Amino acid sequence: MFTGASQFALVGVVGAGGSIWAGALAAGLLGSRNTLYGLRLSTLLAVRGWRRALASQFVIDETTAMAIARDDPLSGRFAFWATGVVLFVFWNTGTLIGALATHALSNPKVLGLDAAPPAAFLALLAPRLRAREPLALAIAAAVVAIAVLPFVPAGVPLLIVAVLVALFGAFRR
């Protein structure tokens, strides 16, 4: 699964002593949010056949943010594909380097790499929060996610928030 949050969830659960099945479930739950992104991107990308199957592999936080931040559809499509290809190449290259370098570092936590995914997500989110409504939605989503966090498995708070925001969007119109 080409989605950083899912990969980190799998490694985090297994690394903490959980089973591979629990890790895979957490990864799958986190990755399932991408279906909501896919719904939004399907009209923008307007791809069919094998290109649609290829595009589905790139439906992640970063490509979605880059695509919908553009004002015209052509720029949005370019941003989606360029971001997807660049991230795929560099993410997998970085993963390979990290896997090969694990024996060179006695404690990788000292590098602070665990802060990179949340920081990247906030960097993608920040430009979208200039108006009051998106900012209020983001704050409400954070409150809901934090409130349910102790009661549900990993990945589920994000799904709950995604469903609530989608319902808000559907009923707002």
pLDDT over 80 at 106, yes or no: no
- Residues 145-169 pLDDT 10s: 899 988 987 667 877 888 888 888 8
Q: Give, in order, the Cα–Cα distances in Å from 140 to each of 35, 49, 73, 108, 158.
A: 22, 38, 30, 34, 12
pLDDT over 70 at 129, yes or no: yes
pTM higher than the cut 0.75: no
Instruction: Tell me what pLDDT residue 90 has.
Output: 92
